[in-house]
Amino acid sequence: DIVMTQSPDSLAVSLGERATINCKSSQSVLYSSNNKNYLAWYQQKLGQPPKLLIYWASTRESGVPDRFSGSGSGTDFTLSISSLQAEDVAVYYCQQYFGTPQSFGQGTKVEIK
């Protein structure tokens, strides 16, 4: 099974500042035949289901603000929020869909400093 590990577990960032969340997979999720990373990011606000933000590690879902960006390849990935807004307070999860079972990171809680 592929284990996803996020860091940090939580972070507090001032409004307008950058937030960076890391995600590491226990094995590569890069498929060599199509050069795609099978990695997604989700945002979960309190009392709500997760919402897809990014897939293929860096493709933003339609309607997601461009302050959200994803990067990385192979085993190391990053979700960045360029200028944190109050509505971005949430728990963020990475997820790999390279192997079965699909697996999620443990989540990173983002708060306002």
Partner 1 sequence: QLQLQESGPGLVKPSETLSLTCTVSGGSISDSNYYWGWIRQAPGKGLEWIGSIFYTGSTYYNPSLKSRVTISVDTSKEQFSLKLSSVTAADTAVYYCATILRFCSGGECEVGWFDPWGQGTLVTVSS
Count of Cβ atoms closer than 10 Å to residue 26 Cβ: 14
Residue selected from 23, 40, 79, 90 as contacting partner 1 according to rule CB under 8 A: 40
77 lines the binding site for partner 1 (CB under 8 A):
no
70 binds partner 1 (CB under 8 A): no
Three-state DSSP at 89 gives coil
Single residue of 22, 28, 73, 102 touching partner 1 by CB under 8 A: 102
Only one residue has tokens 């306002």, namely 112
- 74 near partner 1, judged by CB under 8 A: no
Tokens found for residue 8: 């940090």
